Amino acid sequence: NKSIPDLAPLEAVLFDVDGTLCDSDPIHHQAFQEMLLEIGFNNGVPIDEEFFIKNIAGRHNDDIAATLFPDDLPRGEKFCEDKEAMFRRLASDKLPPINGLYKLTKWIEDHGLKKAAVTNAPRPNAELMIAKLGLKDFFDVVIVGSECERAKPYPDPYLKALELLKVSKDHTFICEDSASGIRAGVAAGMPVVGLTTRNPENVLKEANPTMLVKDYEDPKLWSALEELDKKGDSLKTAA
């Protein structure tokens, strides 16, 4: 894997949304838990966090529908649609940003970089979260998995972001919080900063991120960005 300093001069940063910009997984878990309870899923036993992480977190709704309703896909798809509407209602009240998010977005703006949000969430969800976080004007583009040929864990959404931003994978890094998202970024040929927001470290490590950080205040991240700046300055001097 390339390290972050190897990307100098940096051109862009790409972000997942759920769990990467904001700590939204508990809201998704709540919505799935309540709605699955209503239909007696799992013999009326509420789904726990382990089930949520294994079968739902970071995955596209088509995959979730197939997992939860393998014998009735249309029902699964309708269920997921209704769940997203419930998520939007819940998210309107509470949507905490990941610690240090605005410190990083300021650094990105100060460096004049391009930026994209790349998500498996439906567009209405993504736009709601981005607006609630005050980042509507921050992102140059929002890429949605269902609008690509294939969603994450395939690389297509990240490759589309590179194409629309007109930047190189050799000068771009990604922030992600799920194994599915990390795999997509790695398959697209970019270093991925993995956030241990909710998913277990061992699960994320298997997806091969360049580094794992607790949040955007993590000294490991800022040490890498400092090295990147130094390398960028020395390249300018050499030129």
Which helix (H) or strand (E) segment holds residue 169: the answer is none
Backbone angles phi, psi at 144, to 5 degrees: -115, 130
By the 8 A CB rule, do 100 and 214 touch?
Answer: no
Kindly list the catalytic residues.
16, 18
Q: 49, 31, 147: which is closest to 89 by C-alpha? A: 31
Rounded CA separation 236/215 (Å): 30
Tokens of 185: 């970024």
What is the token pair recorded at 202? 């061992």
The CA-CA-CA angle for residues 55, 117, 13, to 5°, reads 115
Answer for the pair 58, 179: CB distance below 8 angstroms, yes or no. Answer: yes
